[in-house]
Structure 1
Amino acid sequence: MAVRKRPLSPHLQIYKMPLTAGLMSITHRITGVALAAGTLVLTYWLLSIGLGEETYQEAQAALGSIFGLIVLFGWTLALFYHLFNGIRHLFWDAAKGIDLKSAHLSGLLVLASASIVSVLVWIAAWVARGGA
């Protein structure tokens, strides 16, 4: 029996994953998990309100730290990414924007929209708190 040379899959380090097919889909799943974890943080903060002043101050200190603010910004970014990408999927369910060019463009639009809206929400929160 002759040995045939079969094609090999590209190695992960040289394979360029398509934006729409791979990265956006995987990121959508990851942000879903991040939102679930962030909901636990939100629940902790809400429970701290009812558990007394000391517990609330500890929660505020944790969430107001540099690390806490980075986590909260990441959660905000995940929220808007998941929202906009979910809307994109609703259009796909209606067979709109499925061709490669539209899918790529809508993927970039999701990334830009999520980033811009997240920054605007944080600017609005900063202004609402009094600026600095």
Structure 2
Amino acid sequence: MKASRPTFFNLTQIQLPVGACTSIAHRISGMLLAVGTPFGIYLLDLSLRGPQGYARAGALLDRTAIKILLLLFIWALAHHLLAGLRHLLTDIDIGSELRPARASAWAVNCGAAVIALLGIGALF
């Protein structure tokens, strides 16, 4: 007997649990941190070269596109840190049951969003 397989797989209709979304966002934030860190090191190096380098780094950071990227980097840093702490706690069986795991996933997502919103005030 042949097993019936789905013929149409609509990705927009899948509803992932909040823990899965948090885990996926944790991976995405890690990739953003890996990509953004060399740029941060470049800006630090440029600003430490002298007054002209500092002025050039400041001019770069005044651009709106760079500010948006910095805001994304702030979110990635906050989310990766909070989700990493959540994963460490669940590894030692703190909050690994369903209800606390959902609550901690929501706390990570909301906490990272709040930190990013606080970053808007500092950047703009």
Give TM-score, length-normalised by structure 1: 0.78
**Deviation, structure 1 residue 52:** 4.0
Task: In structure 2, list runs of 5 or more residues that go unmatched.
Answer: none
The aligned length equals 123
* Local SS of the residue matching 1:13: helix
Which ranges of structure 1 fall in alignment gaps of 5 or more residues?
Answer: 127-131
| Paired position in structure 2 for 1:129 | none
Other structure's SS at 1:57 match: helix
Q: CA, structure 1 residues 19+10, in 2 after alignment: closer, same or farther (shift >3 Å)?
A: farther
| Partner of residue 105, structure 2 | 107
Counterpart position of 2:12: 13
1:88 pairs with one of 86, 89, 102:
86
Task: Find the partner of 1:73 among 71, 74, 78.
Answer: 71
Q: Please identify runs of 4+ aligned residues in structure 1 that moved more than 4 A.
A: none
Cα deviation for residue 99 of structure 1 reads 2.1
Letter in 2 for 1:13: T
- TM-score, normalising length: structure 2: 0.82
Residue 47 of structure 1 aligns to which amino acid in structure 2? D
Answer yes or no: is the 8 Å Cα contact 2:46–2:57 preserved in 1: yes
Q: How far apart, CA to CA, are the structure 1 residues paired with 2:82 and 2:47?
A: 31
